[in-house]
Amino acid sequence: MPLEVTDFNALRISLASPEQIRSWSYGEITKPETINYRTLKPEKDGLFCEKIFGPTKDFECYCGKYKRVRYKGIVCDKCGVEVTRSKVRRERMGHVDLASPVAHIWFVKGTPSRIGLLLDISPRLLERGLYFAQFIVTSINEEARQKALEELRQEMDQVTAEKEAEYGERIAAIEAAAAEEIARLEAQRKEKLAAVEAEFNKKAESLRQKAEALEQDIARMGDKPSTKKLALPGTGPSGDADFVIAERHQPVPKNASKRLQSQFQKRLKGLEKERNRKRIEMERALTAKTSQRREAATAELEPLRRAVMEDRESAQAQLQELLEDLSDIKDPVRDDQCTLLTEQKLRELSERYPNLLTAGMGAEAVLNILRRLDLEALALKLRGEIQNFSGQRRKKATKRLRVVEAFRKS
């Protein structure tokens, strides 16, 4: 039964491997020219090269050394063209060795993007890497990253300690000066309070002695006329006046002793009241000075403490940013996640951590990742995601697994 060209159920189109293409090829094309504009013959090693694709005339080589069918199958030792029919040019193929890898549009721009599904990266981000807009991280030195993370944490603690030590001496000096001044004010307060107490004791003792002497005079004279003026002296021009019990040559009143005791207690209470007033005024004045000194110290310390906090937070923020940058960088194979970096960010990371990562641009970077890719392990991981997750993640894992299995079986 003859084979019908229209008798088929499906048609599969796929890209040939580089090895397969080389097995089909009759030679490498190294020039972009087609034909010579003067001789109108194909250029050697060009796109129409007779050495690669065959002669343009039946049984005639390029240079004309061999002509006619009797030389069929001979390869010209001068021009290298095989003597055969010209129709072989329709069948034979050549190849081009690319200077750098390229990404085929079928696998990049297809819907869905096969390379994007393999690497779990969106087509937009994939194109940024392929079109040399950003660098793609191709591998991570995990040991170097863990070491860098530990060094960053230690550096963060060290920076915090340095910032505190930088301002610590100035803060301690201000606090010590304030404490010394407050201690001096406290000593001054105690000294003045002691002076007030001593003054009170002195006046009270003098008053008591005068009252006792007057009491003795009253007791000695009894009902007789007084031989002298019996009076308790006053405390000064602005204080209490003299308390007269009996003028000279006048009889001493019977209740003189009682009146004397009453006046003594009254004046003693007056002295106590005066002492308390002085103590309160003194306490108030010294407390105000102490509070003023504390406020001055606080006002002087506040900018320093704020500066310590701001510098520490700024340094920690910078280190935290580096810490997050290191943590955000993923290995495309081990972590199954691609990371894109700007040129500036890559330069900063490379200068700070020379052996941390390798990155590249264009199809070469994608090729390096694909060479490291373990399709067996990736398929196993995706099957686990399909079993353990649901919704969008499961749907995505199913799409990726379909592409992975297709590459495995290709």
DSSP string, 195-209: HHHHHHHHHHHHHHH
Handedness of CA 100, 101, 106, 111 (dihedral sign): negative
User: Residue 123 has which token pair?
Assistant: 């087509």
pLDDT tens for each residue of 144-173? 888 888 888 888 778 777 777 777 777 777
**Hey, where are the domains in the chain?**
17-97, 118-142+331-409, 148-325
The gap from C-alpha 133 to its chain's centroid, in whole angstroms, comes to: 26
CA gap 31, 99 in Å, rounded: 13
- The answer to whether residue 135 scores a pLDDT higher than 80 is yes
Joined tokens for residue 29: 């094309």
Over residues 117-140, mean pLDDT: 93
> Both tokens of residue 389?
């997750």
Is the pLDDT assigned to residue 241 strictly greater than 70?
no
Residue 57's beta-bridge partner residues? 60
Phi, psi values for residue 27, rounded to 5°: 160, 165
Q: What is the predicted pLDDT for the residue at 167?
A: 72
Residue 94: pLDDT over 90:
yes
Longest pairwise C-alpha distance within the chain: 185
Other CB atoms within 10 A of residue 115 CB? 23
Average predicted confidence (pLDDT) for the chain? 83
Q: How many Cα atoms occupy the beta-carbon half-sphere of 270 within 13 Å?
A: 12
Average the pLDDT over 296-318 and give the result: 77
* pLDDT at residue 248, as a whole number: 59
Distance CA 224, CA 37 (A): 166
Report d(CA 105, CA 27) in Å as an integer: 25
User: Is residue 135 a contact partner of residue 340, using CB atoms and an 8 Å limit?
Assistant: yes
- The model's pLDDT over 177-186, given as tens digits with 9 standing for 90+, comes to 778 877 887 7
**What would you report as the CA-atom Rg of the chain, rounded to the nearest whole angstrom?**
55
Under 8 Å between Cβ of 337 and 330? yes
pLDDT of residue 70: 92
Residue 299 exposed, middle or buried by CB count within 10 Å (0-12, 13-18, 19+): exposed
**Scanning the structure block, which residue is given the tokens 């406290």?**
186
8-57 pLDDT, tens digit per residue, is 888 877 778 889 999 999 999 999 999 999 999 999 999 999 999 999 99
> Which residue in this structure is represented by tokens 């009170």?
200
**Cα distance between residue 192 and residue 186, in whole Å:** 10
